[in-house]
Amino acid sequence: MADPVKIGIIICNRYHTCAGGKCLRALQEREGAFRPYQGREVQLVGYTTCDGCPGGNVEYAPEEMKKNGAEVIHLATGLVVGYPPCPYVDEFCDVIEKHHGMKAVVGTHPIPEKYFQTHEALGTWKSPEWQDRIKDVVEDQAVRLRYN
C-alpha cells in the first residue's frame, strides 16, 4: 500500500469555533476537494485558523504542519463561502507553495447549497478566476444539500 497523504487544513478565522464536521466528513467520504484522494489513506496532521485578516498564521502554520509531514495544505471551503469570500486566497496559496514548498488546494468540503444559492444570486463566483478557485468544491445539488 502507498504511503498515506499527509494534509493540513487552514480555516477562516471568522469560523474559529467550527468543530470541523463538514471538512472531516468530506475527508472521510472523499468528497469535494478530497476527491483526488479516493483509494488513498490520508492523515490529517494539522488544523488551525488563518488567525484573522490578513491571515498572519498562514505565514507560520504550514511550516509546523510540514514538520508533521504535511505535503498538501487545504484552505477550507469557508474561505470561499463566507461573506465576502477571503480576499487573500491567492496570496495564501502563493506563500504555501513558494515559501513552504507544499501544494495548496482551495477547498475542503463541498459548497453547501445555501451558500451556493446566495453566491449565485450575488454573482460572486462569475469570473474565470473564481470559477477556477471553487472548481474542486462545486458538486451537484444533491451533494450540496447534504452539506447544508
CATH number of the domain encompassing residue 80: 3.40.50
As a whole number of angstroms, the distance between CA 17 and CA 31 comes to 23
Tens digit of each residue's pLDDT (9 = 90 or more) over 66-87 = 999 999 999 999 999 998 999 9
CB 96 within 8 A of CB 65: no
The number of helices, as runs of H, and strands, as runs of E, in the chain is 7, 4
Separation between Cα atoms, residue 116 and residue 55, nearest integer Å: 24
pLDDT of residue 128: 96
Task: Give pLDDT, residue 1.
Answer: 59
Count of domains in the chain? 1
pLDDT, residue 108, reads 98
The residue ranges of the chain whose pLDDT is under 70 are: 1
Q: Is 123 left (phi over 0), alpha (psi -120 to 50) or beta?
A: left
This prediction has a pTM of 0.95
Note the pLDDT of residue 115: 96
Beta pairing partners, 105: 74
Domain that holds residue 9: 5-146
